[in-house]
Structure 1
Amino acid sequence: MTSTETPVELSTAPAEAPSNDVQLTETAATKVRALLDQEGRDDLRLRIAVQPGGCSGMQYQLFFDERALDGDVELEPHGVPVVVDRMSAPYLGGAVVDFTDTIEQQGFTIDNPNAQGGCACGNSFCG
């Protein structure tokens, strides 16, 4: 593979990405723990991923996963088991996941310093 064929995800990864992990606020951690308790399983972790798609080019995915993928970054902010795949990690370094529960909005939000632009729904961004 020549350097012109190298995927963008690998060529633009910040050098400090592994040490600049994604974080959960205490509010988000509390919500994730409650959802994990509802599942009644101790083998699940919150997986945070970035996938192509959405109206801005990239979109976030948050889901519970029991799988371990090669190259996963494993974290435990506020005691919550979190995994990020190796392709998503550079896009999520320094991102903060929060949980909002207001009359206007309920759900997880991601404040990502790596996002160059976003969309009105807050679910996708430019990487």
Structure 2
Amino acid sequence: MSTETATGTDPEIQVSPTAAEQALDLLEGEGLDTGIAGLRLFVQQGGCAGLSYGMRFDDEPEEDDTVYEHHGLRVFVDPASMRYIEGSVLDYESGLQGAGFHVENPNVVSECGCGESFRT
């Protein structure tokens, strides 16, 4: 299997140290090998603004994925999703309203009121 690894010329997907730590804890809790497995970040149709983010753990990247590594976390992005999220930052926020992962996407032109979906 060949995976494309991000280079310095790509608009890279960044991961905050807090997000990486949280994701790695979850990966290990699932019994996955953090040296091979990773977090898949993708875009899907849905939500009131048209597109929404999805995340899941995968055992390994797909053949055409771009693979990013930040703070020990591997992030897999498929080519179709990349055009919507290139240059984004994955962060983890916690507060009174709850805790969770958040994508800071510079390509977004509008978001729905709840922040769950977006348009580019």
Matches for 1:1-127 after TM superposition, within 5 Å: 19-42=10-33, 43-127=36-120
Q: Which amino acid aligns with 1:71?
A: D
Identity %: 38
| TM-score with structure 2 setting the length | 0.85
**CA offset at residue 70 of structure 1?**
3.5
| Native 8 Å contact 2:41 2:56 kept in 1 | yes
2:64 and 2:37 map into 1 onto residues whose CA distance is: 18
- Counterpart secondary structure, 1:81: strand
Structure showing the higher helix proportion among its residues: 1
2:98 and 2:113 map into 1 onto residues whose CA distance is: 13
1:32 and 1:40 map into 2 onto residues whose CA distance is: 13
2:61 and 2:20 map into 1 onto residues whose CA distance is: 21
| Native 8 Å contact 1:21 1:92 kept in 2 | no
2:67 and 2:60 map into 1 onto residues whose CA distance is: 12
Alignment RMSD: 1.4
**CA offset at residue 101 of structure 1?**
1.3
| TM-score with structure 1 setting the length | 0.80
1:52 and 1:20 map into 2 onto residues whose CA distance is: 23
Q: Which amino acid aligns with 1:92?
A: I
2:112 and 2:78 map into 1 onto residues whose CA distance is: 24
Structure showing the higher strand proportion among its residues: 2
| Native 8 Å contact 2:19 2:101 kept in 1 | yes
1:23 and 1:71 map into 2 onto residues whose CA distance is: 19
Which is higher, the Rg of structure 1 or of structure 2?
A: 1
Structure 2, unmatched stretches of 5+, are 1-8
- Counterpart secondary structure, 1:32: helix
